[in-house]
Structure 1
Amino acid sequence: MDAGTEIGWEPYEVALLGGGPRAAVTVAVVALHLLGAVEPGPRRTLCATGPEPEGLGPFEGTVLDCLREPLTARELVRHTDVRLALALARIPLAEEGLLRYPRLGPSRRARRRVAFWRERYPLPAVRHGLTDDRTLLAVALHGDAALRMLLPRFALRTGLADPGAPAEGVRFSLGRGRFLRWRDEYEDSVSGDWGAGHGDHGGSCGSGGGGGGD
């Protein structure tokens, strides 16, 4: 995917600079889901489905490899290989002056750039007609709010977003949300027929699905 081409960063790099490690992992999972490579698994896990898509980058490839066995969002973000991949992803950003030593938080320049792109690409008002690239960029820039708008069922079933979290601000809840108590009410709110666009993928592990589904 090349949603980050226009702004010069990969989508997971946008998320890493704007929301930190959890954000980067969230975007990698969404990218893999849109490619049909990751689906919800049993007991609210994530799992890889089918062969590795062509042209997959090393960061997304590491996340996909970790999901050959079902993992919860919390387990995924804590996985040793994912932590290593995040450390490696930070190196070129730090070399460009976008992360500050020693704690590797975003620099003022990085924060300004992310704020500029959030303003230029606000949260979409509707999900119909969005390309996968634009969907991925929206998640990278707007976090949970974009997940709830564009991929509500996938986000709920896998724990990527917390439907009970405050709506204001940019938040990435991967592995944090205590969302089960909102499940029935929230699933009722997204159970309608969405028509064309990102439909619902409810397949179990091992059943490949088409890219771009929710």
Structure 2
Amino acid sequence: MSDGTAVRLEPHEIALLGEGPRAAVTVAVVDLYLRGLVEADRPGTIRKGIADVMSAERPPSPLAQAVHTSLREPAGPRTLVKDPDIRIALALMRIPLAGAGLLRYPLLGPTRAARRQVRELRQSHPLPTNRHGLTDDERLLAVALHGEPALRLLVPRFALRAGLVRRAEVGGKSLLKNSPRGRGGSGGGTTTAVEVAAGADAEAAEADPMRDMREGRPVPTDGPPLCSFVLPRVRPSAS
């Protein structure tokens, strides 16, 4: 058995060692999004995208393929982590990592060598200062190493709509009117004022009923009408 040194890790493996299964699934979802294979659906869920053909030259990881296959209907991150096929893909991921000395038996938690390797990767690959000029591989690595801050920086609109990041809350109540719908939406958490503003701006930019109609998406009927007219009151003339 190896001592876990000098092992080349893929982004989804780094996420699994650093933060656990949900982080690995998040990286897989972002990988699919960058390839155009998934897109955000109703708040807190994702669905298969229009580009539904995987590249044979650069195929996604087996975990990402399992996520894509499981999207028979829109689903949120919590549901994806519980999907049987995705759990099998996660279990198969652990086998070579355990063989490399990065996961310990029998609980398959990260070993000291794994934690050291992830820590060194974070130090050598700090969070980017902006999203411009990065390759898709660099984006995935940043998400694997830095989690939510990288999601908010690199794919902010998709991450918010897909339920990959927490929605802004103030005083325990959601600032945004629409809570995640569909299967397995994301949970909430208290964020800073900057994140509150960013989340509200992204949500406002996405909430476009006319665009949903043009793209054939269902328009919610529980809100105000798209158009409303107020007729002026006409007073009778004095005779």
User: Shorter-chain TM-score: which interval?
Assistant: 0.7 to 0.9
Aligned match for 1:64, one of 61, 68, 76: 68
| Count of residue correspondences | 185
Among all aligned residue pairs of Structure 1 and Structure 2, give the percentage whose two residues are the same amino acid. 49
The residue number in structure 2 matching 1:21 is 21
Farther off after superposition, 49-58 or 112-121: 49-58
Alignment of structure 1 residues 1-214 onto 2, 5 Å: 8-49=8-49, 50-54=51-55, 55-164=59-168, 176-178=186-188, 185-190=197-202
Letter matched to residue 19 of structure 2:
G
CA separation of 1:83/1:121 partners in 2, compared to 1, >3 Å: closer, same or farther?
same
Alignment check: 8 A CA contact 1:62 1:81 kept: yes
Deviation of the 1:112 alpha carbon: 0.4
Q: Specify the code of the residue in structure 1 equivalent to 2:13.
A: E
Cα distance, 1:68 vs structure 2: 3.1
TM-score normalised over the length of structure 2: 0.68
Q: Which has the higher contact order (CA 8 A, sep 6+)?
A: 1
Q: Using the alignment, how far apart are the partners of 2:136 and 2:22 within structure 1? A: 21
> Where does structure 2 lack aligned partners over 5 or more consecutive residues?
1-5, 170-183, 206-211, 218-239
2: CA distance between counterparts of 1:47 and 1:96?
35
Structure 1-normalised TM-score? 0.76
Q: Cα–Cα, structure 1 residues 96 and 27, in superposed 2: closer, same or farther, change >3 Å?
A: same
Q: Secondary structure at the match of 2:47?
A: strand
Kindly provide the amino acid, as one letter, of the partner of residue 30 in structure 1: V
* Whole-angstrom distance in 1 between the partners of 2:53 and 2:9: 22
Highest Rg: 1 or 2?
Answer: 2
Rounded to whole Å, the distance in 1 between the matches of 2:27 and 2:60 is 14
| Residues 170-201 of structure 1 deviation map (CA, whole Å, 9 limit, x = unaligned) | xxxx965226x9998434445899xxxxxxxx
For structure 1, the 5+ residue unaligned runs are 1-5, 166-173, 194-201, 207-214
Aligned residues: CA RMSD: 3.2
Could you report, residue by residue, the CA deviation over 1:51-75 in whole angstroms, capped at 9, with x for unpaired residues? Answer: 2312233211111101132112221
